[in-house]
Structure 1
Amino acid sequence: MSDFETVLYKSSDSETWLSDPMGRIPNRAMYFGDGLFETMVYDGEQIRFWDYHCERLSSGLTLLGFEDFKIPATEITHLADFYGSGKPLRIRWTVYREGLGKYSPESNLVSQVLHFQSFHAAPKLKEIAGFSDSIFLVGNAFSSLKTISALPYVLANQEKVKKGLDELILMDNTGNISEGSTSNIFWMKDGRIFTPSLSTGCIDGVGRRVLIEKLAQMGFEVNEGEFGQTDLLNADLVWVSNVTGISMIHQIENQKFDPNLPDFLENIL
């Protein structure tokens, strides 16, 4: 599949998605990172887990003090159908506060950007992972949101590349496992499944929510909590996930794990 890409913009006073930002630069997204985003997968027929994305975005906008925002569900799904033409897409939906001002906003209305790209699934295996020694997350009222001020993850991925790793595992400021550099992290020990709680500063991922719900429905014991490096390194299986898929981890530091995707994770996302 050849790569495809297009970007559309829509302000609060427009009824149409446009391919030109119409002079709306600079803006609060650029100056202050004042907004949220969703990364979504269109599978050729529908946007997967659409309701979960809408719920997360809506609750996040409320927490950040945006005015009531009517999610343009029909518009976005129709645009995905049009640009996807039956092929999978990766969609980044960015929502940011209009106006400029300084730290005090001039408006709480919403502008939006839709970025459609060719979809590339997550790799089935990430061979080597390690722990970050420079980025430590802090849990707070906003840490679980997908804000557009993503500097910790930019720096984490720089560190990952510099170290020649396939995945970098982030800790919180008290030494608990938090998440991967672009994904949530899970592991299995003696048939029980573990994942860090949101208190560790990890993103409240849609893929994370789906996994927790479906694994519990399968009868697995899923434990959300605060866990250290030793807990993770003693695991039988380790994987990272986001809406683009699940990647098994073969090795963290000098500890190896079963790299094969277990049957219960097949087609779960």
Structure 2
Amino acid sequence: MTPLLWLNGVLLPASEARIDPADRGLLLGDGLFETMRVAAGCVPLLERHLDRLAVGCATLFLPPPDRAMLRQAVGDLLTASGLVGGGMRLTVTRGCGPRGLRPPAQVQPTVLLTCAASSNAMPGPVRLGVSRYRRDGSSPLSRVKSLNYLPMIMARMEAVASGHDDALLLDGKGNVAEASAANILLMLEGRIITPPVEDGALPGTSRARLLEAGLCVEQSVPLARMREVRAAWLVSALSLQPVASVDAHELKVDPKQEAVLRELLFGTAMA
């Protein structure tokens, strides 16, 4: 069966969807996206994702899509697809424009929603390799999920080519920032620590929930201190994944602590 999607107000099979060749998201990466978890046939953290999308739109001077329209679109796509558990991606671009960098005077954003079922397999431990690419925590773009993902793509590709599963990126000062597509949690000095956004960490939705619950704290972690880290996890809206190693430094598995984190993040459909 051909997957369904929602594009600019219309539900249709993915095979019939068309993006204008002049769309700035396609040509320039001029846009944002949100990856959202689907559980029990709904998006339990939809409002958090829409909040972050609104912040990102303001950062990019991009007119935000109507919030009520997005809520309705999410519901319509979930109903039409019959998806119970998995993921949904919301993509918003600045729409079409003339040649060059300057946006059109009147912006008509392109809004796309896609969804997919999740695998039942639990993600296994990952081996991280420290990347040569850096995160710039002083840039406003480091705090939004823009369509410009080439540094992360290259970091992941180079990590896999060197025998790792994913990349660990640092900031310009050599502090740990995040992985290529996830925040990182580090067990250090008896606490779970996550790098601050000033060090290049994306303000992830799962990361925010853990901070609000007091299950982790923000703290800069220089790469040299990784040898002191006992356990670590990658966390995103869709998963919590233990880290097996960072370069040559082996990490321990902490099932008890992982269970606490997993229960808060994914324990119930409406958590």
- TM-score, normalised to structure 1, is 0.87
Indicate the residue corresponding to 1:118 in structure 2.
117
Paired amino acid for 1:238? A
Indicate the residue corresponding to 1:57 in structure 2.
53
CA distance in 1, matches of 2:127, 2:135: 22
Distance 1:93 1:23, change over 3 A: closer
Indicate the residue corresponding to 1:224 in structure 2.
218
Shift of 1:18: 4.2
The C-alpha deviation readout for 1:167-196, integer Å capped at 9, x for no partner, is: 321111221111011110011223222111
Structure 1 contact 27–99 (Cα < 8 Å) conserved: yes
What number of residue pairs does the alignment pair up?
256
Comparing 67-76 with 29-38, greater Cα deviation is found at 67-76
1:186 aligns with 2:185: yes
Please list every run of 5 or more consecutive structure 2 residues that lacks an aligned counterpart in the other structure: 266-271
Structure 2 contact 32–93 (Cα < 8 Å) conserved: yes
* Aligned counterpart for 1:237 among listed residues 206, 209, 231: 231
CA distance in 1, matches of 2:120, 2:150: 24
1:137 aligns with 2:131: no
Structure 1 contact 207–242 (Cα < 8 Å) conserved: yes
Indicate the residue corresponding to 2:269 in structure 1.
none
Structure 2 contact 196–220 (Cα < 8 Å) conserved: yes
Indicate the residue corresponding to 1:247 in structure 2.
241
Name whichever structure is richer in helix by fraction: 2
Shift of 1:34: 0.6
CA distance in 2, matches of 1:224, 1:149: 26
Shift of 1:67: 2.4
1:82 aligns with 2:76: no
SS of corresponding position for 2:245: strand
Shift of 1:138: 1.2
Shift of 1:27: 0.8
Shift of 1:122: 8.0
1:259 aligns with 2:219: no
Shift of 1:123: 4.4
The C-alpha deviation readout for 1:74-102, integer Å capped at 9, x for no partner, is: 221231133134x3132111001122122
Structure 1 contact 42–90 (Cα < 8 Å) conserved: yes
CA distance in 1, matches of 2:185, 2:36: 21
Alignment of 1:69-108 (within 5 A): 69-71=65-67, 72-85=70-83, 87-101=84-98, 102-106=100-104, 107-108=106-107
CA distance in 2, matches of 1:121, 1:58: 32
SS of corresponding position for 1:268: helix
The C-alpha deviation readout for 1:234-263, integer Å capped at 9, x for no partner, is: 112211110111111122222222213323
CA distance in 1, matches of 2:262, 2:10: 40
The C-alpha deviation readout for 1:190-240, integer Å capped at 9, x for no partner, is: 3222111111222221121122222x1xxx4x3313221122331122111
Indicate the residue corresponding to 1:8 in structure 2.
6
Distance 1:200 1:31, change over 3 A: same
Structure 1 contact 122–245 (Cα < 8 Å) conserved: no
Paired amino acid for 2:90? W
Please list every run of 5 or more consecutive structure 1 residues that lacks an aligned counterpart in the other structure: none
SS of corresponding position for 1:125: coil
CA distance in 1, matches of 2:144, 2:49: 12
